[in-house]
Amino acid sequence: MKIYKIPTWARLTHMQLTFSGAIIMAMGSVWVHYTACQSSLKSYNATDTDIDIEMYFTPEDPCMDLIIKKILSAKKRILVQAYVITSEKIARALIQAHQKKIKVQLLVDKNTQSSKGSKIDLMLQYGIPIIIDTPSPFGIAHSKTMIIDDTYVITGSFNWTDGAQFKNSETVVIIKGKDSNRKFKNNWYKRAKSGKKLKSIR
């Protein structure tokens, strides 16, 4: 039986082709992910011509006071997304706005109500509508956002807790712009539509 040996030059060519093919496939995969990401980003580009962005950082800046000031300045609507709400000041400000006939609505994580120090049941007692966000069976609703009227959005890493102001290093971004507000608002309503209304556990 004859044994045929592949010449060295042929083996190198085969290896080069295999390596080149792997690079092309990898680049193709990267390009697909890149273009998909670019496509996704384009759909959320804001077109505000008068956009104004303010940035604040805890514990140095008085972020809690700035947030409460924005809540109390609302004229018709406050839409909240929250992972947790334990701040008495923020809860009371939202209740005060609700009592002034401002349309206050909350979209929260499924565990927010049972979190230690949660103010969810307090707000339910005052008639504020609260919806459980359900991103997936095992996911969490981790957004920290307030959409105020048709102009302002407050977002960032700042949870609606006292710890976010006095203990943690957090970021608060206040965006003024109608188009940005509309995009956040559309996302809020989309999430709320697939959620379920929360009832008091007391």
Residue 144 is among the residues annotated as catalytic for this protein: yes
Taking the chain, what is the end-to-end CA distance rounded to the nearest angstrom? Answer: 87
- Supply the Cα-derived Rg of the chain in whole angstroms: 25
Which one of 98, 119, 144, 178 is the catalytic residue? Answer: 144
Rounded to whole angstroms, how far apart are CA atoms 156 and 171?
5
CA distance linking residue 44 with residue 184, whole number of Å: 10
142 noted as active-site residue: yes
Q: Which helix H or strand E contains 97, and what residues bound it?
A: helix 88-99
Give, to the nearest 10 degrees, the angle between helix 63-72 and helix 88-99: 10
| Candidates 109, 119, 149, 183; catalytic one | 149
CB 58 within 8 A of CB 169: yes
Q: Which residue among 142, 162, 176, 185 is the active-site one?
A: 142
Catalytic residue ranges: 142, 144, 149
